[in-house]
Amino acid sequence: MNRELSKCIDHTILKPDTTPGDIEKLCAEAKEHGFATVFVPSCYIRLAASLLRKSGVKVGAAVGFPLGWATTQTKMAEARQAVKHGAREVDMVMNVGALKAGNHDLVKKDIRKVVRTVGRSVSVKVILETGLLTDAEKVTACQLAEKAGADYVKTSTGTGHGGATVEDIRLMRKAVGDRMKVKASGGIRNYEQARALLEAGADRIGTSAGVEIVRGAPKK
């Protein structure tokens, strides 16, 4: 098993029909393969945290998911409760409409308030939804996320607006340099895709196919 690769994977299940049994399976896989984090629906964060206690695998929360248009106060409340229930990473969806309208101050304040709500011990990743943005908007979004104090920029929610591409990862990496981390997410189903995205500059891979990806890695 490629443990170095496993530590780059956020093992994810965010389907509307997710059951407690699905969470138990996801967490068992995460422990077996040594994944970085599991991302689960908000109602299951407490369950996942209990299943992963002392395992070294973190629990992540999706905030403002999947559309990003929730009010800042709603995102703050969702993030606060997630951390209270055991989340140690938060992936928040940026207000895409505000960015496209040129309301950069709203975008930055939205991110900053979530960052401040969860505190510096919790990593915040900002989902840009790159499939809806021009290259110039992607760069602007990265810059706003950095100014707001986020830890990562992330490609997409993976809910139908395009997924991670090598070109977007390269663009985002160039925009943030080594000052932030970059997460690739959306449509990543196999080892070859994951490797290409990591080589392009991604630090983390978000996927529901984590097991398939590590099993497809060359044996050392």
Whether residue 93 contacts residue 66, with contact meaning beta carbons closer than 8 Å, is answered with yes
Instruction: Give domain limits for the chain.
Output: 3-215
At 219, is the pLDDT very low, low, confident or very high (cuts 50, 70, 90)?
confident
Beta-carbon contacts of 81 under 8 Å, excluding residues fewer than 6 positions away, are: 42
Q: What is the CA radius of gyration of the chain?
A: 16
Q: Which residues neighbour 106 within 8 Å (Cβ) at sequence distance 6 or greater? A: 95, 98
Residue 183 annotated to the active site? yes
Cα distance between residue 70 and residue 185, in whole Å: 21
Q: Could you report the per-residue pLDDT of 149-168, keeping only the tens digit for each?
A: 999 999 999 998 889 999 99
Distance (Å, whole) CA 154 – CA 142? 9
Q: Reduce the DSSP state of residue 17 to 3 states and report it.
A: coil
pLDDT over 90 (residue 220): no
User: Residue 1's pLDDT band (boundaries 50, 70, 90)?
Assistant: very low
Residues 74-83: tens digit of each pLDDT: 999 999 999 9
Q: Tell me the per-residue pLDDT of 90-131, one tens digit each, with 9 for 90 and over.
A: 999 999 999 999 999 999 999 999 999 999 999 999 999 999
The catalytically annotated residue of 58, 108, 125, 154 is 154
Give the whole-number percent of the chain exceeding pLDDT 90: 95
Q: What percent of the chain has pLDDT over 70?
A: 99
DSSP state for residue 166 in the 8-state scheme:
H
Q: What is the CATH number of domain 3-215?
A: 3.20.20.70
Interatomic CA distance for residues 60 and 176, integer angstroms: 23
The catalytic residue among 58, 75, 108, 183 is 183
pLDDT at 63: 98
Average pLDDT, the chain: 97
Of 49, 56, 54, 63, give the one whose Cα is nearest residue 14: 63
pLDDT for the residue 160: 84
Q: Does the annotation count 178 as an active-site position?
A: no
91 belongs to the catalytic site: yes
pLDDT digits (tens, 9 = 90+) for 169-195: 999 999 999 999 999 999 999 999 999
The catalytic residue among 91, 110, 151, 168 is 91
20-29 tens-digit pLDDT: 999 999 999 9
How large is the average pLDDT for residues 66-78? 97
Torsional sign, CA 67, 160, 158, 163: negative
Confidence band for 197, pLDDT divided at 50, 70 and 90? very high
Task: Report the C-alpha gap between 59 and 70 in whole angstroms.
Answer: 22
